[in-house]
Every structure is written in structure tokens, then in C-alpha cells.
Copies of this chain bind each other. A is one copy, B any other.
Amino acid sequence: MRKPLILVTNDDGIMAPGIRHLVKYMLEIGEVVVVAPDKPQSGMGHAVTITNPLRLEKITVDGDHDEYSCSGTPVDCVKIAVSQVLKRKPDLLVSGINHGANSSISVIYSGTMSAAIEGSMESIPSIGFSLLDYRFDADFTQSKKYIQRIASNVLESGLPKGICLNVNIPAIKESEIKGIKVCRQARGNWEEEFDHRNDPSGKDYYWLTGRFALHENSNETDGWALENSYVSLVPTQFDFTAHQMIAELNKWDFDVK
């Protein structure tokens, strides 16, 4: 039987420990090709590179599977992998393991999840994985079983067209994790703050900072699951339509005459 073909990408860059762990886990269940950004691309959301050309370089990191470093965003990596690198459509796309959470509204800013969403647009069963520890030397030990289990499930059952999975893993010991909880994206937002400074020549500059604020505590949400020691799993799609608002808007007077 042919081994499943697994495309691996991320947004922290091809040398980040998170993707190195993910590559190892995937090599145990399939044939792996890596196409990932040549530098950190956190916070890039669904950005694509259209005003600059892309570079793609075949590199060797660890092992003899194919790895390509790309100068673009995570979404660029998926597009160029499908179009220029892979000889057939992959059976699975995995993105991550992100250093840091991508639960709740972070899904929209996340390069990790944007790569998974782009995969699902290409009809590739796709999963984004994130660990709730942004540090470079985060401990990924507890993630292995859960990631392999979820990846195997997706390889076996597939995913409906246009749906990918957003998986977040709490930064706690494996023995403390209560299991996997299927949930929905919690309502929350990033309350931004700007650190306003002056450069050596006296001109202003601003660093974007901020903190995440969760707006609800329903046990149906990823926010709740993670706070309660579960791995959260949110089925994720890309229809932005607020369907419930259509009837209301049809009552508005849009006559311009």
C-alpha cells in the first residue's frame, strides 16, 4: 500500500523546533514533503505575496525526505507546494506546531491556520496544530500522541470539502491532559496596545503589543477547553457570510434614485 503523502508547513519558519517535531511525528505515518517559510511569518494571516517574486530553495535539514525553504508567507508556501513542488495532491496537510496559541479570534491573524485554511480551499484535508507556549524552547512532548491520533483520524475519515481543523494543545504535562474536546471558536479579541518610542534620531515609532481578552466562558468553546486541560479541536471554514443578517439587511432602504 502506498504511504500517504503529507505536506508539512508552518509560520514560525522552517528551522523552528515546532515544525521539526511535527516532521518527526509525520515521518512515522507517511511520506513527508516540507515547504515552509525561510523566516518567521507569525501574524501574517492569509497574506499572499503579489508585489514581489518568491524564492524556493531545496534544503536538507534532518533525514532524506524533501524540504523546501520559501521566501513567502505560509499561504504562499501551500500554493507553491501544490503548484510547483508536489507531483500529486497530498493526502494531508499539517501546519505547525505553532509556538503559541491560535484559539478563539487568533485564527484570523494566524499564518499557521491560514496555511491549513488554504489547504482546505485546495480540497486537501488540512490541520493546524498549536502549542500554548510561544517560547523557542517550548516542551512539545505531550503533543505527539494527540497530533498523531488526529492526523490518523483525518487520513482515515477525510474532511468535508472546505473544512479544516484548528487544534490547540495546552502547555501542561501529558498526564494532566484530559483528552480532546471538539468545540467552537470562542468570542474574544486582542486588545491592542502600542509601545510608543523614539528612535536615536528622535523620530516616533510604535511596537504593536496587546493582550487577549476572552468574552465568554461557555464550555462549548476552545477557550474553555484549553483552560480546563483539554486539547481543543475546532472545525474551521472560510465562509465569512453573516447569514443571519441577510433578512434584516433586505429591509433597509437602498434606493439611490
A interface residues (Cβ-Cβ under 8 A, vs B): 40, 42-51, 53-56, 72-73, 75-76, 79-80, 82-84, 105, 107-109, 114, 117, 121-122, 145-146, 149-150, 153, 157, 160, 162-163, 166, 179-180, 182-185, 187, 189, 192-194, 196-197, 203-208, 233-243, 245-246, 249-250, 252-256
Contacts and interface: CB of A to CB of B under 8 A. Distances in A.
Contact of A55 (B44, B160, B204): B204
26 contacts: A42-B51, A45-B45, A45-B75, A47-B109, A48-B109, A53-B205, A55-B203, A56-B204, A76-B208, A79-B192, A79-B208, A82-B192, A84-B196, A105-B121, A108-B240, A150-B254, A160-B245, A166-B240, A180-B256, A184-B243, A185-B241, A234-B240, A234-B241, A236-B242, A237-B241, A238-B240
A53 B121 CA distance: 33
B84 A149 contact: no
Contacts of A160: 242, 245
A256 B149 CA distance: 6
A237 B208 CA distance: 24
A53 B240 contact: no
Contacts of A107: 240
Given A79-B194, A183-B246, 16 more contacts: A43-B47, A43-B48, A45-B46, A45-B114, A47-B73, A48-B109, A54-B207, A56-B206, A76-B208, A84-B196, A145-B256, A157-B252, A179-B254, A182-B250, A184-B243, A237-B240
Nearest to A48: B43
Most chain B Cβ neighbours within 10 Å, of A108, A245, A252 = A108
A241 to B, nearest CB: 4
Contacts of A50: 42-43, 208
Nearest to A118: B108
Contacts of A255: 149, 179
Contacts of A187: 162
Contact of A197 (B53, B145, B183): B53
Give the 6 A-B residue pairs with the shortest CB-CB distance, closest first. A45-B46, A235-B245, A235-B242, A180-B254, A237-B242, A53-B205
